[in-house]
Amino acid sequence: MKVAVVGSGVAGLGSAIRLAHQGFEVDIFETNSYPGGKLTSIQLGAYRFDAGPSLFTMPQYVVELLALGEKNQEKLRFEYSKLDRLCHYFYSDGTNFQAWADQEKFIESFCEATGAKASDVVDELKSSKKLYELTSPFFLEKSLQLASTYLNPKIFKVLAQFPIAKLKRPLAENNRLRFHNAKAEQYFNRFATYNGSNPYQTPAVMGVIPHLEHGIGAFFPKGGMHQITLSLVEKAKSLGVRFHLNAPVEEIITEQSKVIGVQVKGEMHPCDLVVSNADVRSTYSKLLKQKLPKKLERVEPSSSALIFYWGINRSFSELGVHNIFFSSDYKKEFTQIFEKKVLPDEPTVYVNITAKEAKSDAPEGCENWFVMVNAPYNEDQDWAHLIQECRTQILRRIEKSLGVDVKAHIVEEDVLDPLLIESRTASYKGSIYGQSSNHWSAAFLRHPNFSSKVKGLYFCGGSVHPGGGIPLCLLSAKITSDVIIKGK
């Protein structure tokens, strides 16, 4: 059977690899001149930057894809290492600490800096691990829209142990009740941003996310995050997947509610199945020329991002690969992002420096700074004005902690805003993770990985189940491929 994959984001690549491995004839149609979607790379002078995702967790999902059909694991040519230091955190009052991969070392460092009780941190990490082990096999690795998921006898054991209170209670409230410590609350609240949500609205079940870092670990691919894309593309090609770049799909062509092909540059490409890695809203409105399902109309988009790529002509020994500069008023920050739809007056700033591990990413003695703040999705704000104001606030926040005028050391610069994210990746309103998880039912409101109305149409990626981010997108590809292979 012939499959057309719309888009070559990480979920599209994952779906293509799995289906080609099963004998399907697969073509990927990509709008851009490069594969990978958000997981790509840019070059500014002598500085290389990963353009999008910068945190690598759960590497087993990438390795699993690359290992399909391979008897000799040495042929995989994908290398990565585990980071000893997860992140360096800077609070606005001058407090800072290292989040070490070693849990005992992390707890000691964290509690010494924040005044949190070690027993509370231990309990939170245990709770996160238990929640992950309980929910992952069903709610992350299976379709929530198939009866077979709920007919598995093991699901009753999961439901019996599931902490219902964590669906009704916001994450921030759960952390307040746990710690009664402002710095500890802010630290564990930040994990809501991993799927573009508001910690003061998203349910406490999102407390599962810390386990991904503290229980499993943070990793660094040799060559940077873009190496994930390069490795998956190479694997796909080895299985016979054909790539069509600069080839935007204009329409998914159906006949009697069944997929028969895709139209690209006015030309019909016949196929039996379509897997859309495009945003699900764009798939309906632009590719199917249909109204959105009512359920999708009610869904709130996730947050977006404002990213500066700065080539810095010096190095900072106090910084690591991942660095967070917290704002002084976290609740106000998220109110501005999600309710007022503006960039925060005082944003929390994330700085990623791959040159700390990949020395060739910057000239000797220099660093490549990927500087990101959470941003609202695009609602036709005055982005030019907001970006300039936010740039000033970012520089002020970093200078406050480092005591250095960073602006004087910027020798290369580029910017990625919600408008560009929307135009380059077809993400609805520039949202990074599809939809937010600011309601307890959000997981069940995500669009399924298949269409119930158009035969032969399937979906993968961050805008459908189970969600955004590299690990979940790869799981999305697995779910979608399994549904297709089993003949849904």
Distance CA 31, CA 39 (A): 14
Task: Indicate if the pLDDT at residue 449 is higher than 70.
Answer: yes
For residue 425, what pLDDT band results from cuts at 50, 70 and 90? confident
What confidence tens digit (pLDDT) does each residue in 339-379 have?
Answer: 999 999 999 999 999 999 999 999 999 999 999 999 999 99
What confidence tens digit (pLDDT) does each residue in 39-53 have?
Answer: 999 999 999 999 999
Percent of the chain having pLDDT more than 90?
A: 79
Identify the pLDDT of residue 75: 60
What confidence tens digit (pLDDT) does each residue in 119-130 have?
Answer: 999 999 999 999
Identify the pLDDT of residue 290: 86
Distance CA 459, CA 469 (A): 16
Residue indicated by tokens 């020395």: 359
The secondary structure element, H or E, covering residue 5 is: strand 2-6
**Maximum separation of any 2 CA atoms in the chain, in Å:** 66
Residues 269/2, Cβ–Cβ less than 8 Å: no
Identify the pLDDT of residue 83: 97
Identify the pLDDT of residue 294: 76
Identify the pLDDT of residue 148: 67
Identify the pLDDT of residue 260: 98
What confidence tens digit (pLDDT) does each residue in 213-222 have?
Answer: 999 999 999 9
Task: Indicate if the pLDDT at residue 144 is higher than 70.
Answer: no
Give this prediction's pTM: 0.93
User: The tokens of 325 are what?
Assistant: 């500069």
Ranking 48-57, 136-145, 255-264, 306-315 by mean pLDDT, the lowest is 136-145
Give the chain's length.
Answer: 488
Task: Indicate if the pLDDT at residue 464 is higher than 70.
Answer: yes
For residue 447, what pLDDT band results from cuts at 50, 70 and 90? confident
Task: Indicate if the pLDDT at residue 310 is higher than 90.
Answer: yes
Task: Indicate if the pLDDT at residue 175 is higher than 80.
Answer: yes
Identify the pLDDT of residue 435: 80
Task: Indicate if the pLDDT at residue 155 is higher than 80.
Answer: no
Measuring CA to CA, how many Å separate 487 from each of 39, 259, 273, 458?
A: 30, 15, 11, 12
Does residue 144 or residue 391 have the better pLDDT?
A: 391
Identify the pLDDT of residue 324: 98
Does residue 95 or residue 437 have the better pLDDT?
A: 95
Mean pLDDT, the chain, integer: 92
CATH fold, domain 2-40+222-299+442-485, is FAD/NAD(P)-binding domain (3.50.50)
Distance CA 243, CA 246 (A): 10
Identify the pLDDT of residue 296: 75
User: The tokens of 95 are what?
Assistant: 């407090």
Task: Indicate if the pLDDT at residue 206 is higher than 70.
Answer: yes
Q: Where are the domains of the chain?
A: 2-40+222-299+442-485, 119-217, 303-425
Identify the pLDDT of residue 149: 64
